[in-house]
Amino acid sequence: MKIFNDLEVVAIPTKTNFRGVTIREAVIFKGSHHWSEFSPFLEYSDEESKPWLQAALSAAYNSWPNLIKKRIPINATLPNVSVERVPEILSKYPGAKIIKIKVDSFEKDADLVEAALDYNPEAKIRLDINGGWDLKNALLNLHDFHLRFGPVFEYIEQPCIELSDLGKLKAEIPMKIAVDESIRKSLDSDFSNLKECADIAILKWQPVGGIENAISLAHEIGLKVVISSALETGIGLSHGLALASTLDVNLSCGLATATLLESDIVMEDLSIINGEIEVLSRTPNQGLIEKYRAPEDRKVWWLERIKRIIDSGGFDEFLN
């Protein structure tokens, strides 16, 4: 299709097993305004991937809204790794004052939090549970985390999936609650009452359907916002950085996740200087594209996926 100019599919190994991902595949292509990226995870259905494609095309063919900031503060991202690897991973985020840690439970992961604080005793911690606890386990785990570490937690991200559980939890714990899946998996919901069960909204430009949709959501929700990534290449991260700049986000954003890949594939790297990354439209490095180009059968798989999604409707503005 003509709207996907210079399309390439890349397959980049990750440095760790990140939520089951060891090879990150992504489609990159050129539009009239920017290079863009389409990279829903492989297990996502066509329906769930549709906002991602709408976001990718919108980013390629529309200019960015007014940028307020030139640099965006970022958090370090610590996957669920052995404690021995903590210094190696956190050293990739120079100047970051916030550490986001993927955890399963207090029993399994308290030592991971301890290792992060040993590396940077001044850091604030974000725990990301990805909705993995019910209300009872959330109360037990967060009580233990608070008892051991005290007020080091900036917020707890999606401890439970159900909003009713989050509302009850919010009334019982001393930490703030952030929501991610509650937003991006329910985009047709009414979010006007979300502040009753959360303090912070996590927005990702691809899953919510693009920068303009994210801006609208941020205004509708009315909470403080953190812009995060979906383990994208520097092409996708550049649009997340633009979104954070447009919204004038003050909290550190999860937009330095290219450090979790074996390599990025952009010409203009995402160097972290004093805990910040520059907002910049980025372009692919052809040498790295060739190095990480996916096998032909994978490219066919992605093209078929794109065709199915487009055939489902809703893309006339780009096709006409």
**The one catalytic residue among 50, 100, 102, 299:** 102
**Euclidean distance between CA atoms 248 and 229, whole angstroms:** 17
**Euclidean distance between CA atoms 147 and 274, whole angstroms:** 31
Tokens representing residue 32 in the block: 């009239």
**Euclidean distance between CA atoms 77 and 304, whole angstroms:** 33
Task: Please give the angle made by the CA atoms of 300, 306 and 311, to the nearest 5 degrees.
Answer: 125
291 is known as an active-site residue: no
DSSP letters, 176-214, are: -EEESHHHHT-TTS--TTGGGT-SEEEE-TTTTTSHHHH
Tokens representing residue 272 in the block: 């972290």
**The one catalytic residue among 50, 100, 204, 299:** 204
Which residue from 294, 305, 303, 302 is spatially nearest to 23, judged by alpha carbons?
A: 294
Would strands 71-73 and 35-38 be described as parallel, antiparallel, or unpaired?
A: unpaired
Left (φ > 0), alpha (ψ -120 to 50) or beta: where does 225 sit?
A: beta
Across the chain, which distance is largest between two alpha carbons, in Å?
Answer: 59
**Euclidean distance between CA atoms 264 and 262, whole angstroms:** 7
50 is known as an active-site residue: no
For residue 50, count CB atoms less than 10 angstroms from its CB and return exposed for 0-12, middle for 13-18, buried for 19 or more.
buried
Which residue from 212, 206, 208, 154 is spatially nearest to 183, judged by alpha carbons?
A: 208
Give me the active site residues, please: 102, 204
